[in-house]
Structure 1
């Protein structure tokens, strides 16, 4: 049996390598390696200047991962930017929202990671809390805290016990998007740490932490298994 093809959205940043300093589509290697360890084939999905291409891209995939990254532009959820909100990544916002819409329309399994969870919530009409403390380490360093999955949820079946997760974010889900339910919370302050869309696509899940920065493959393996099904 062939392995399912899992598309992972990428950053769009200026980067330097060798003698070059150029715009680049970037993806921390933890993402494709996690897909591979979970039994899938990973392919990168850099932002497309034409978001209408998203449906054609999604039609070639078996599952979609929206990766972590910069803050979602507040105008996307009808808010004024907080002074602590980062600069917008408009091309990436447009592309990933189009990917999510195409995936939900076609019934493709979806996993949102950190920013990906937040963007999934925004795509379904939800809002974000623009700043909270205590969920990130120093710049470039993941913190860890405990999350408690909701029993009986999709995530609760994949992760039946509380667990410590790698985390680096300063924003979180505020008002849930249409149809979404919270399926995990931070033990210390109740922050929504996972959302899911029951009954849709068989698998639509967002997690606020970074599974690609740890050793636990269960969430990604559940996505791969949904893609195989």
Structure 2
């Protein structure tokens, strides 16, 4: 049986150095494709493409989709002015990933959002974001020092898909300074940290596999979420109720 083809969105950087070269590059930390491969999938990287219909065409060829972590979502996407701590916008990536998510939802393609991917899903469906989470929770512990993940415990909401996949509290790798503020109408929080931060979102009404998490499973060794995505992409039966 062929492995499910899982697309993963990528960065697009203007100035990247490797070897003797310094050029624009589409890139992604290796943890993402390695996680897909460990979970039994075949990974395909999806750099931003502004051509009309490109997202629909890409999604039509995939068995599953991962929206990867990355830069802050442009605040104008959810009707806000930039906070002083909000990073510069990644306009091409915002447009591309929002189009990918919309196409995946339209087709019922299995979808996993990671960090920024959770935030984009919420924004696409009408939610908003906290632009600098330490202002809200009073501490910086959702991220480590620059370039280092922190860890904290996440607890799933009983009765959700997230709870069926992660039935007990788990320690997860985390690196973010933005988070869900107002939850989009069609979504429901399915995991939290002790300070109340929304750590996972899924759809209120049952639909094909669609889940987004605020942490970074590609930076850890817990493959359960990706195995569920790859299983759904390969036609496995839905995760049974707890």
| TM-score higher than 0.5 | yes
CA distance in 2 between counterparts of 1:3 and 1:199 reads 29
The answer to whether the 8 A contact 1:148-1:184 is kept is yes
Aligned to 1:53: 54
CA distance in 2 between counterparts of 1:217 and 1:200 reads 23
The answer to whether the 8 A contact 1:104-1:201 is kept is no
The equivalent position to 1:167 in structure 2, one of 163, 174, 178, is: 174
Q: Spell out, residue by residue over 1:173-197, the C-alpha distance to the aligned partner (whole angstroms, 9 max, x if none).
A: 011113100000012x010000001
Q: Which moves more between the two structures, 201-210 or 108-117?
A: 201-210
The answer to whether the 8 A contact 2:186-2:205 is kept is no
Q: Which moves more between the two structures, 196-205 or 128-137?
A: 196-205
The equivalent position to 1:135 in structure 2, one of 128, 136, 142, is: 142
CA distance in 2 between counterparts of 1:185 and 1:214 reads 18
Q: Spell out, residue by residue over 1:129-153, the C-alpha distance to the aligned partner (whole angstroms, 9 max, x if none).
A: 1011221000000000001011110
The answer to whether the 8 A contact 2:40-2:227 is kept is yes
Aligned to 2:199: 193
Aligned to 1:148: 155
What's the RMSD between the two structures over aligned residues? Answer: 0.9
Deviation of the 1:160 alpha carbon: 0.2
The answer to whether the 8 A contact 1:16-1:22 is kept is yes
Aligned to 1:176: 183
In the alignment of these two chains, the number of paired residues is 228
Question: 1:1-229 to 2 correspondence within 5 Å?
Answer: 1-13=1-13, 14-50=15-51, 52-133=53-134, 134-187=141-194, 189-229=195-235
Q: TM-score, normalised on structure 2?
A: 0.92
Deviation of the 1:198 alpha carbon: 3.9
Q: TM-score, normalised on structure 1?
A: 0.97
CA distance in 2 between counterparts of 1:176 and 1:139 reads 28
